[in-house]
Amino acid sequence: MPLLSDIGAAALRRLPPETAHGVALGLLRRNLVSAAESAPPPSLHCTLWGLEFASPLGLAAGFDKDAKALRGLFRLGFGFVEAGTVTPRPQAGNPRPRLFRLAADGALINRMGFNGAGLEVFAGNVARYRESGSGAPLGINIGANRDSGDRAEDYVTCLERLAPLADYITLNLSSPNTPGLRSLQEGEALQRLLGRMTETVAKLERPVPLFLKLAPELKDAALAESVRAAMDFDLAGLILCNTTTARPESLRSGARSEHGGLSGAPLCAPAQNMMREVYRLSDGRLPLIGVGGIASAEDAYARIRAGASLVQIYTGFIYRGPRLIADITAGLAARLKADGFEHIQRAVGVDARSAA
How far apart CA 23 and CA 19 sit, in angstroms, is 6
- Output the pLDDT for position 34: 84
- Output the pLDDT for position 1: 35
- Output the pLDDT for position 4: 46
Name the helix (H) or strand (E) containing 10.
helix 9-13
- Please check the confidence at residue 33 and state whether its pLDDT lies above 90: no
Q: Taking residues 321-333, what's their average pLDDT? A: 96
Three-state secondary-structure class, residue 260 = coil
- The larger pLDDT score, comparing residue 10 to residue 346, is at 346
255-274 pLDDT per residue, tens: 999 999 999 999 999 999 99
How far apart CA 86 and CA 93 sit, in angstroms, is 12
User: Which are the contacts of 270, defined by CB distance < 8 A and separation ≥ 6?
Assistant: 216, 241, 244, 246, 292
pLDDT band at 353 (very low <50, low <70, confident <90, very high): confident
Active site residue 175: yes
- Estimate to the nearest angstrom the gap between the alpha carbon of 234 and the chain centroid: 20
User: 48-57, 194-203, 255-264, 347-356: lowest mean pLDDT where?
Assistant: 347-356
Q: Taking residues 197-212, what's their average pLDDT? A: 95
- Please check the confidence at residue 10 and state whether its pLDDT lies above 80: no
- Please check the confidence at residue 174 and state whether its pLDDT lies above 60: yes
Q: 43, 148, 174, 175: which is the annotated catalytic residue?
A: 175
| Widest Cα–Cα separation across the chain | 54
How far apart CA 194 and CA 30 sit, in angstroms, is 38
User: Can you list the domains of the chain with their CATH numbers?
Assistant: 39-355 (3.20.20.70)
- Please check the confidence at residue 37 and state whether its pLDDT lies above 90: no
Strands (E), 217-353: 237-240, 261-264, 288-291, 310-313
Q: Taking residues 321-345, what's their average pLDDT? A: 96
Q: Taking residues 184-189, what's their average pLDDT? A: 90
Q: Taking residues 28-57, what's their average pLDDT? A: 93
Output Rg (C-alpha) for the chain, integer angstroms. Answer: 19
86-113 pLDDT per residue, tens: 999 999 999 999 999 999 999 999 999 9
- Please check the confidence at residue 176 and state whether its pLDDT lies above 80: yes
